[in-house]
Amino acid sequence: MPVVIFGAGSIVRDAHLQAYRNCGIPVAGIYDPDVVKVRQLCDEWGVTLYRSEDEALENSGVCFDLATPPDAHAGLLSKIPMQAPVLIQKPMGSNIEAATEILAICRQRKLIAAVNFQLRFAPMMLALRHAIDDGYLGTVVDFDAWLALDTPWHLWEFLESLDRVEIAVHSIHYLDFVRSILGNPHGVHAKTLSHPRSKVAQSRTAAILDYGNDVRCCLSINHDHFFGRKFQACEFRICGTEGAAYVKLGVNLDYPHGEPDELWIHPAGEDNWMQVSLNGAWFPDAFAGRMSNLQRVATGEDTELVSSVEDAWHTMALVEAAFTSSSTNATPVTASPVFT
């Protein structure tokens, strides 16, 4: 099915258009209110430029791809043709209230709507999920995400005006993927903050997800490690009762060029780590899988819509809880001994 794209930002250039071309999904055209930017992109890719929002919305028999800022989603969704398939760029609105409004609009218009949590479709994560489901790790009891990066926030100028950045537009991918493996946590302890040299509201996060007394889940994320590649990192360590896995998310190292993704498994009953051969990478290949699943559900070929708005709302609830936790005063440490 042809795709109509709203938005001409770097994510469309670096991932959407390349992924769709690679897997043979045609792009009907692109609309963006920034005429200069969208014309340059359309000329570069040989794609039709829509001169108005209405012109883009007049298409039928297409999938709509909303690669737009979060505060633009609801307005566009209220105009999308009834029952149409639509992919919504994460986050699903600016906060939980906006996510709830988006969910209501999608229900009312009976849209086949998914959120672009494409990390679930990255080759390394598909293979990891397969390994977990087939028992190579036993029961997952530890999930560590460790990032020390130099992220080029300037590529997304609109982020500088947002009150919520790091968790809402970056770590949201990791929170969503954790949910896909471990389910919804009971709660979250989080602190997210900026950096003296950063122009965005937050660029560093530490979070602990509460899965009870048997599972430990921690995320340590620093986008301001600007001291060269040597000790930068972007990796997950997932440990089970019988085996373990290591994932390197290569695209974030020298984004958007990146490095190769890696997946290593230490399977149950084995003594050594084994590297899994991957076909493709998170960027741009996961975007093809994301759109493919949406189209296959729209045509009746798939029965499960991965990261539907119904499911994505729960990721947004986790994001909201993390920001709430971050703004709540920490438990004070006793300043002096108290004798009774």
Instruction: State residue 335's pLDDT score.
Output: 84
280 Cβ contact partners less than 8 Å away, ≥ 6 residues apart? 123, 286
The rounded radius of gyration (Å) of the Cα atoms in the chain is 21
User: pLDDT tens digits, residue range 131-175?
Assistant: 999 999 999 999 999 999 999 999 888 899 999 999 999 999 999
Which amino acid would we find at residue 252? N
Q: For residue 33, give the DSSP letter.
A: S
Instruction: State residue 252's pLDDT score.
Output: 96
SS3 153: helix
The token pair at 64 is: 């709509």
User: pLDDT tens digits, residue range 79-129?
Assistant: 999 999 999 999 999 999 999 999 999 999 999 999 999 999 999 999 999
Instruction: State residue 329's pLDDT score.
Output: 87
The token pair at 266 is: 């230490």
Instruction: State residue 336's pLDDT score.
Output: 85
SS3 198: coil
What is the Cα–Cα distance from 225 to 204, expressed in whole angstroms? Answer: 10
What is the Cα–Cα distance from 86 to 116, expressed in whole angstroms? Answer: 10
Instruction: State residue 275's pLDDT score.
Output: 98
Domains and CATH numbers, the chain: 3-117+286-308 (3.40.50.720), 120-284 (3.30.360.10)
Given a cut of 80, whether residue 340 has pLDDT beyond it is no
The token pair at 60 is: 């039928």
User: pLDDT tens digits, residue range 292-303?
Assistant: 999 999 999 999
Q: What is the mean pLDDT of residues 31-43?
A: 97
What is the Cα–Cα distance from 109 to 90, expressed in whole angstroms? Answer: 20
Instruction: State residue 330's pLDDT score.
Output: 85
H/E/C letters for each residue in 225-281? CCCCCCCCEEEEEEEECCCEEEEECHHHCCCCCCCCCEEEEECCCCCCCEECCCCCC
User: pLDDT tens digits, residue range 233-289?
Assistant: 999 999 999 999 999 999 999 998 899 999 999 999 999 999 999 999 999 999 999
User: 10 Å Cβ neighbour count for 339?
Assistant: 4
| pTM score, whole prediction | 0.95
